[in-house]
């Protein structure tokens, strides 16, 4: 079983799946193979709908979040499809199994004031201040994912036209605008680098090697706490902030979908719920009748 899971993960890596996705799928399949090993299920051909049901039941008893269960199901679905393609399974055991509906969670975003504080904190005097400011200015400026940010090369930034070329999910390229503020921060950062070349990674860590997704997450968490953000946030929160703030200021959904690199408009529409909550809040505080009821 382990040999086939490794072969499957290698096939995903060959298709340029993000390191974050590969890590998550690897952990999910390790969980599944450990479950199978306890029940003496050693070969892919022994994975039946009953085995999948037992695994999901065992998983549910551990009380993970619904979206965690859905991610594990997605990993297993892809794995069993791969096994069918490789003729290790006669049919996909998921074929007749319904999936639970995804839990709709509003994205966690920062206010404009919190973003300003975060970027100001990132730019405070220090060895990596220029890099940190440029890093967070760019993510917020262009709504980049973690893997998209760490995968950038210097040549991907077009300073003349004010855009950045991004390699997103599914190995799809897109062009996203960059603010003048972010471009200026990037110029300042690159001026601190020794002989930077176009093919070099845009963001480096303290060892002079490309910044990783985990390194970015650690840095973000550290600076978010330092800037006074009390709740749990991640680099993806800056992407959510980018989308929410654009929509609140009049950006249309189709343009936002293009900038975020969403395949389907439905993925972008979740930000309308966030905007609606803000609209309702403003309405509650501004409508005369609401004011009367509060008196």
Residue positions annotated with a catalytic role? 145, 169, 236, 239, 262, 271
SS3 annotation, 130-154: HHHHHHHHHHHHHCCCHHHHHCCEH
End-to-end Cα distance, the chain? 68
> Which candidate, 129, 154, 115, places its Cα nearest to that of 239?
115
> Which two tokens mark 207?
């060892």
Q: How far apart are CA 88 and CA 46, in angstroms?
A: 9
Given a contact cutoff of 8 angstroms between Cβ atoms, the answer to whether 268 and 257 are in contact is yes
CA dist., res. 201 & res. 155, Å (int): 9
Angle between helices 253-260 and 265-286 (to 10 degrees): 130
CA dihedral 47, 49, 52, 54 (to 10 degrees): -110
Cα four-point dihedral sign 172, 257, 214, 162: positive
State the greatest distance between any 2 C-alpha atoms of the chain, in Å, as a whole number: 72
| CA gap 54, 51 in Å, rounded | 5
């Amino acid at each position: 079983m382990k040999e086939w899971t490794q072969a499957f993960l290698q096939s995903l890596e060959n298709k340029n799946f993000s390191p974050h996705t590969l890590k998550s799928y690897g952990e999910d399949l390790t969980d599944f193979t450990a479950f199978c090993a306890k029940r003496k299920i050693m070969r892919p051909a022994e994975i039946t709908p009953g085995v999948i049901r037992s695994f999901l039941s065992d998983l549910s008893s551990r009380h993970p979040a619904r979206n965690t269960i859905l991610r594990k199901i997605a990993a297993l679905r892809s794995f069993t499809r791969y096994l069918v393609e490789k003729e290790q399974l006669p049919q996909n055991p998921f074929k007749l199994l319904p999936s639970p509906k995804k839990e709709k969670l509003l994205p966690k975003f920062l206010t404009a004031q919190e973003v300003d504080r975060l970027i100001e904190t990132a730019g405070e005097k220090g060895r990596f201040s220029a890099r940190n400011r440029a890093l967070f200015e760019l993510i917020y400026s262009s709504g980049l994912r973690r893997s998209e940010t760490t995968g950038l090369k210097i040549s991907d930034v077009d300073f003349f036209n004010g855009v950045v070329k991004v390699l997103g999910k599914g190995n799809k390229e897109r062009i996203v605008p960059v603010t003048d503020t972010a471009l200026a921060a990037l110029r300042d950062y690159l001026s601190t680098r020794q002989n930077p070349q176009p093919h070099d990674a845009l963001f480096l860590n303290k060892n002079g090697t490309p910044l990783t997704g985990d390194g970015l997450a650690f840095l973000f968490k550290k600076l978010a706490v330092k800037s006074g953000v009390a709740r749990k946030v991640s680099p993806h929160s800056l992407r959510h902030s980018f989308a929410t703030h654009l929509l609140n200021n009049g950006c249309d959904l189709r343009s936002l979908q293009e900038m975020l690199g969403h395949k389907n408009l439905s993925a972008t529409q979740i930000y309308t719920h966030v905007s609606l909550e803000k609209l309702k809040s403003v309405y509650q505080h501004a409508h005369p009748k609401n004011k009367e009821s509060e008196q």
